[in-house]
Structure 1
Amino acid sequence: MTVKPLNATTARRDVLASFVVFLVAIPMSLGVAVASGAPVAAGLIGAVVGGVVAGVLGGSPLQVSGPSAGLTVIMADLVHTYGWAATCTIVVLAGLLQLALGACRVARTALTVSPAVVGGMLAGVGVVLILAQLHVMLGGASRPDALANLADLPGLLAAPDAQPALLGLLTIAVLLGWTRLAARTPDAGLGRVLHLVPGPLPAIGLATVLAYALRWDAPRVAVPGSLLGDLPATAWPHGAPPAIFGAVVSVALVAAVESLLCAVAIDRRRPIGVPRADLDRELLGQGASNVVSGLLGGLPVSGAIVRSSANVEAGARTRLSTVLHGVWVLVLAVSCGPVLEQVPLASLAALLVVLGAKMIDVSRLRDLRHHREAPAYVATLAGVVVLGLGEGVLLGIAVAAVLALRRLTRLSVRVEEAVPSPDDRPGQASWHLVVEGTLTFLGVPKVTSALQRIPAGVAVDLDLDVDFMDHAAFDAIHQWRLAHERQGGRVDIDEVHESWYERAVTGDMSAPRKSTPSTRWWAPWASRRRRSENVDLDAPEVSPSALLLAGVREYQGGTARLVRPIMAELAFEQKPQHLFITCVDSRVVPNIITASGPGDLFINRNVGNLVPRYGTRTPDDAVAATVEYAVNVLGIRTITVCGHSNCGAMAALLAGGTEVEHLRSLTRWLKHGQHSLARFLSAEPDGRAPLTRLCQTNVQQQLDNLLTYPWLKDMVQAGEIELVGLYLDIGTAEVQVLDWTAGAFVPVRAETPEDAPEDGADDAAPEPRAVT
């Protein structure tokens, strides 16, 4: 995908977005610095370096880096143990380690860490942050140990320092109230101000003004004479080398993982025209930022999801916004020191309490419970709080590994005696055994126990639905089969997917090949040569309802269990990527021609894939309602109009509507195609068949019809919405895409292995550009 050029409109968006991010970054950087026990200047230096250095060198254009609450616990412990000068050296070393990891192109390896462990780590850091900052907010002093802070909290709650406590509660109330009011207010007038100004700024500002006006004796931010100060005298940390090495690795990996996860999250929300994130380059940019920040006496930086989300929501389009936000922080640091020293510590602590609460994402725990990964989340959280960050993460990884091993060795064995019926033939199977899962030596006792329950001399149907079978399991089943058949029994083994048992018997241990199904799921009923549920799909006397039910039974018996995990994730929320407007013609199947699945396409189908123009005399809001919902509620940013060859609606238009004039509703609907017909008649013939030319002209006209809606046209011209035209030639099954430059449809070539994009790279083929 091509990079969106920096023009006047893009530059204006980036400048405005940079101010929004700047307002978010200031209170957060100050709060993280104070909570870490570092100089106030360290937080501002980290924000400047994160904005400028990571913004220029990083691989995620819209990600904003700076001091992060996720590193607060680590930094507080390092400052307490080694002192600030030595901690700066650790930050530099952590940056060098990140540079080495980035040079080795291992960025995506960090993403293999279970999301349950990452979520538990962030939640644990949030709990530790809340326990520590509640002491500061209530007028006390926090201790390095989370359990000690928890033990001291009841006494502090019983007798808090009134003034700091009131300032902290005021900050929390304004922050939460501002956020909720902005969410419920339309984006116009006052709502626009609420959306543009982030909540932390008025919350900290009001508490500062109140404390200054009432002359309350609440602890303030300690600002040195020169806010950015001189370069610190770096010192080598004194301590055991393994401990120092562990500190460097902890800072580097936590910052790297947080940055990469943030980059992936922002990449999913990037606007049209913004290139994908290059994770290896992002890791190099983060490493360079930490080296520079440590040398200048700043906090370590990482990608910050709060600042990055604010950047995207404010309309940023290039990395200029990220860089400018660092420049504004630098200007503030140089010129506004006296203002910053009036900020109450209790207000910053309250801000961090709210941030810590947001890090404890309860909805994430609910999702993990569905996938049975909650134990890893809880173990990591508890480990971080009780043992420390590094130990907690290791504990979470160990629990996640145990859960994965348990899933990999999970085995289900069902054995049942078949109920005899009058229609049973002599020798028909009377026992049925089903083995599902991964069949290894760990499952051999369960399988042999079930096999021993089967009497000698009976017929047995053994269904093996396994994704792996080791030699111990094969030997146990094979020896039982030989013994059972020697005693007069019969054993029929049916392998549902891969033929592990058959391959072991024949000695062919090459890579397993899945058998090709006799029936393709995408083939029409009339093309199938099989029987389903005793219904002959080819028999002429079969009713359409019987065909439909037979297809449903086939789905329930095979496809349903395969798509069930996907549908479970989509059960409560849909997140389609595209709005797909196409014809009702039964030969056009959007999910087949786009190779998409459940939840990918938001589809609107109508006769002739028509889009009624804005303000048309023949009102019809069905398509407009779909477009409004797709764009404004679902956040879809790509709208596709797909036409096809031999379209009956276009044929009716060519015939003047005489063939369908007895169909009143259809006749009224086809009036929306008159502009397509007029466009067709005004163009010179070019050798294409008239119907083909009208079908393709109709797609272009419907895209123009979309632009008659003023609100949608503004979004298209701003680059927020992309319009795509497709045309399906039914006879050749070929899909063509509208080339806006040439004004014609061109084939979409099939992807070959060498065309496949590398990880983190842009798409191999250029995408259709947006209409302007």
Structure 2
Amino acid sequence: MPTMSTSHSPPASSPAPERSTWKSILHHDLPASLVVFLIAIPLSLGIAAASGAPLIAGLVAAVVGGVVAGALGGSPLQVSGPAAGLTVVVAGLVGQYGWAATAGITCAAGLLQILLGVTRIGRLALSLSPAVVHGMLAGIGVTIAVQQLHVVLGGKAQSSLIANLAALPGQLMAHHGHSVLVGVLTIVILLAWPRLPRAKVIPAPLVAVVTATALAAVFMVDVTRVDLPDQPLQELILPTMPGGPPLEIFTAVLTVALVASVESLLSAVAVDKLHRGKRSNLDRELIGQGAANAVSGALGGMPVTGVIVRSSTNVAAGARTRASAIMHGLWIAAFVLAAGAMLELIPMAALAGVLLVTGLRLVQLAHIRTLKRHDELLVYVVTAAGVALLGLAEGVLIGLVLAIARVLYRLARATVTASEENGLWTVRIQGTLVFLGVASLVRTLRTIPVGAPVRVELEVDHLDHAAYEAIEDWRRGHLARGGSVELNRAAFRAAMSTDSARRLPWQPQVIPEPDQRASMLDGIREFEASADLIRPMLAKLAADGQRPAQLFITCADSRIVPNMITTSGPGEQFCVRNIGNLVPPKGSNSNSVDAAIEYAVDVLGVRSIVVCGHSHCGAAAAALEANAPAGSGLQNWLRHLEPSVRRAVGMPDIVDPATDAKLSPADKLSVANVGVQLANLRSFACVRKAENEGRLELIGLWFDIGAAAARLVLDREPYLVRADEELAAAGKSSKR
């Protein structure tokens, strides 16, 4: 595959986010809304049927989810409506309280979601273990699939998974030829249609339901079909207060609110990975979902969540703004009111086939492989089994308890080893050592002979006070009995720091000691003591010479660590640092920068040059305030920032793509400066030649120090985008 010639911005073929203009809405959002509308009709009907709700309630939820959640939510391209993930919950509530009371519970759950969003604790739902969340969805999926298999076979679903499994042999022996034919045909089309070339333009559920409906209309008159009221608005069942113990009612409201919230937030995060537009505001999304549930419940509709199937279809169909989700809801309302009789031609077995496949797809092999790799498969299996056999709340609770128990078990089993070589004992402590692991630590330390010389090597993420006291008490006792103990005090202080993390050899070390020379030497000693893992690699680099793939030009600011930002190691970057990450144009007598660029391109043959600016840049602030000492070297150097200042003045406000916060004037200048330095790079003949030949890519990067987040710098609005999304999209374009 030939290498593409690219600039710091992604290829032109990669679509960029657009403003909400009528032209954009008509060109992109209107067609996308029609595609989503067509796929939402059969899914909404099928989910309502599987939940034991009135079919009109599923359509009400689809309309409200599209219009209300689409208008108020924080995820512009997410589409909301009735979701398969709540089928088991709703079915249980309908069986216990009846539909009117279930609508009341939905309304109350919506108000609770609004409260969670306003108090900004809604995003805590994302702290759930992925194994529990995916296990919950898998359990729901299995339950739906077995339940709808009965409908495909022409029978009726039972109240639980065990009852459905027990009744399945009898259902298989019964003869329901037409229903089976419709259901099997629907499933075959759903599985086969996406494999056809260019067939993804038309959604598979739409093709399957239309085909099955047409076949049933012509050849089959005895299949069970959708039954809608003749006057939908007059047949809506308004909510009532559920009767029963207050604790049970509150539990029901909390269950609907939490499950709907988790599914919506997870869907919003997944949708963000499908496009390069504005990122989701999760708190606002929760408020929008709560408003939709409150309205849907008040109108007698089903619970609403963000739905990944409809949302991914929306993105794939070309939607650019929230107008697509809103219009899809309006199309459903207009269709039900004006052409509801057409829906009554749809066989229930066709909807069951759609739900059966949808349920099975909630059990994803990719999730299973990932969780197995991270040793979380047991939590996934137990959660899924608990949800399928006992119920959603019970299964999730069991999964959470097991996940927490495994975390505590791992904390209690930090690796502590003691070995002897040539009379010297080495105690190696690895992992996370807290009070739960103190007993094991003390047992190991007591195996060391009295009076022996000991070296303690600490390789931990965190060390709590109880563990530190245990080591310190043992050290004093060992010294008192004639032994010696060598340990690195700096490593212990870093491990006990509340914000510490495992420190890589090139990451910064913060040691609060007045003697900085001693601190540096202490750090060197610690590096050399732990360098066994990288010594062979460095020896090879010393023998083979350097072959970096990238020239990284960044600021001399001590808070910027290029290897940390790019997760790279020795030999991978050729780095140039100066105040303001400047690249003066060729001929500006900046000999050091000139030499580095020409050496990197012509001699080392780097494949990319990155110019990385950053937030809170002192050079940008000094250029804006013009406070450098007159006649100083700093003032002369900062003159190279004047073109960047002029460019920043002519630019609109720049917002961070993750927080929607407007950048300060200094940060805006820092972003504009990256673009100017990329242009200056092209004043070098070697850079122009390599870029034109497709051997070199120029990339603009901006690092937000406070957020620890890298953004890609574009030469057009919105100027800043999330680096992972933009680079992934550029990679996809390069494969076309």
TM-score by length of 1: 0.67
CA contact (8 A) 1:171 1:351 kept: yes
In the alignment, what sits opposite 1:719?
A: none
Give the SS at the match of 1:122: helix
Cα drift, residue 408 of structure 1: 2.8
In the alignment, what sits opposite 1:227?
A: 232
Cα drift, residue 306 of structure 1: 0.3
In the alignment, what sits opposite 1:148?
A: 163
Alignment equivalent of 1:262, drawn from 261, 267, 286: 267
Task: State how far apart, in whole Å, the 2-side matches of 1:19 and 1:204 are.
Answer: 16
In the alignment, what sits opposite 1:188?
A: none
State the one-letter code of the partner of 2:264: S
Is 2:539 aligned against 1:549? Answer: yes
Cα drift, residue 586 of structure 1: 8.1
| 1:589/1:221 CA distance change after superposition, 3 Å | same
Alignment equivalent of 1:409, drawn from 393, 408, 412: 412
Task: State how far apart, in whole Å, the 2-side matches of 1:517 and 1:205 are.
Answer: 58
Give the SS at the match of 2:426: strand
CA contact (8 A) 2:462 2:501 kept: no
Is 2:319 aligned against 1:306? Answer: no
In the alignment, what sits opposite 2:206?
A: 201
Cα drift, residue 437 of structure 1: 2.6
In the alignment, what sits opposite 1:86?
A: 101
Give the SS at the match of 1:738: helix
Which structure has the bigger radius of gyration?
Answer: 1
Task: State how far apart, in whole Å, the 2-side matches of 1:104 and 1:219 are.
Answer: 47
CA contact (8 A) 2:216 2:347 kept: yes
Q: 1:388-407 maps to which residues of 2 (within 5 A)?
A: 388-407=391-410
Give the SS at the match of 1:736: helix
Give the SS at the match of 2:75: coil
Is 2:334 aligned against 1:331? Answer: yes
Is 2:48 aligned against 1:33? Answer: yes
Cα drift, residue 392 of structure 1: 0.8
In the alignment, what sits opposite 2:362?
A: 359
Q: 1:103-502 maps to which residues of 2 (within 5 A)?
A: 103-181=118-196, 185=197, 191=198, 194-272=199-277, 274=278, 276-418=279-421, 420=422, 430-494=424-488, 497-499=491-493
Instruction: Give CA-to-partner distance per residue, 1:196-238, whole Å, 9 cap, x none.
Output: 2100011011111111111241111112111343442432222
Instruction: Give CA-to-partner distance per residue, 1:384-412, whole Å, 9 cap, x none.
Output: 01110111111111111112222333311
Task: State how far apart, in whole Å, the 1-side matches of 2:427 and 2:212 are.
Answer: 71
Cα drift, residue 6 of structure 1: 1.2
Instruction: Give CA-to-partner distance per residue, 1:707-729, whole Å, 9 cap, x none.
Output: xxxxxxxxxxxxxxxxxxxxxxx
Q: 1:617-696 maps to which residues of 2 (within 5 A)?
A: 644-645=583-584
| 1:154/1:448 CA distance change after superposition, 3 Å | same
Is 2:646 aligned against 1:738? Answer: no
| 1:552/1:356 CA distance change after superposition, 3 Å | farther
Instruction: Give CA-to-partner distance per residue, 1:534-566, whole Å, 9 cap, x none.
Output: 99x9xxxxxxx999427689xxxxxxxxxxxxx
| 1:479/1:737 CA distance change after superposition, 3 Å | closer
State the one-letter code of the partner of 2:316: E
Backbone CA RMSD of aligned residues: 4.6
In the alignment, what sits opposite 1:612?
A: none
- Paired residue total: 588
CA contact (8 A) 2:460 2:502 kept: no
State the one-letter code of the partner of 2:674: V
Instruction: Give CA-to-partner distance per residue, 1:245-286, whole Å, 9 cap, x none.
Output: 1111111111111111111111232334x3x21211111111
Task: State how far apart, in whole Å, the 2-side matches of 1:246 and 1:325 are.
Answer: 33
Give the SS at the match of 1:222: coil
State the one-letter code of the partner of 1:135: H
CA contact (8 A) 1:119 1:377 kept: yes
Structure 2: runs of 5 or more not aligned: 1-15, 510-519, 575-580, 606-635, 648-669, 683-699, 722-736
In the alignment, what sits opposite 2:724?
A: none
| 1:438/1:604 CA distance change after superposition, 3 Å | closer
In the alignment, what sits opposite 2:565?
A: 596
Question: Which has the higher relative contact order, 1 or 2, with Cα contacts under 8 A spaced 6 or more apart?
Answer: 2
State the one-letter code of the partner of 2:204: G
Task: State how far apart, in whole Å, the 1-side matches of 2:528 and 2:121 are.
Answer: 55
In the alignment, what sits opposite 1:768?
A: 719
Cα drift, residue 474 of structure 1: 3.9
State the one-letter code of the partner of 1:768: Y
CA contact (8 A) 1:465 1:496 kept: no
Task: State how far apart, in whole Å, the 2-side matches of 1:492 and 1:360 are.
Answer: 52
CA contact (8 A) 2:415 2:429 kept: yes
| 1:390/1:56 CA distance change after superposition, 3 Å | same
Identity of aligned residues (%): 42
Instruction: Give CA-to-partner distance per residue, 1:28-51, whole Å, 9 cap, x none.
Output: 001011111111111111111111
Instruction: Give CA-to-partner distance per residue, 1:81-101, whole Å, 9 cap, x none.
Output: 111111111111111111222
Structure 1: runs of 5 or more not aligned: 186-190, 421-428, 504-509, 523-527, 538-544, 554-581, 606-641, 670-688, 701-732
State the one-letter code of the partner of 1:322: A
Instruction: Give CA-to-partner distance per residue, 1:683-719, whole Å, 9 cap, x none.
Output: xxxxxx9xx99xx99xx9xxxxxxxxxxxxxxxxxxx
State the one-letter code of the partner of 1:295: A
Cα drift, residue 457 of structure 1: 2.6
In the alignment, what sits opposite 2:83?
A: 68
In the alignment, what sits opposite 1:709?
A: none
Q: 1:505-524 maps to which residues of 2 (within 5 A)?
A: none
257-266 vs 477-486, greater mean Cα deviation:
477-486
TM-score by length of 2: 0.70
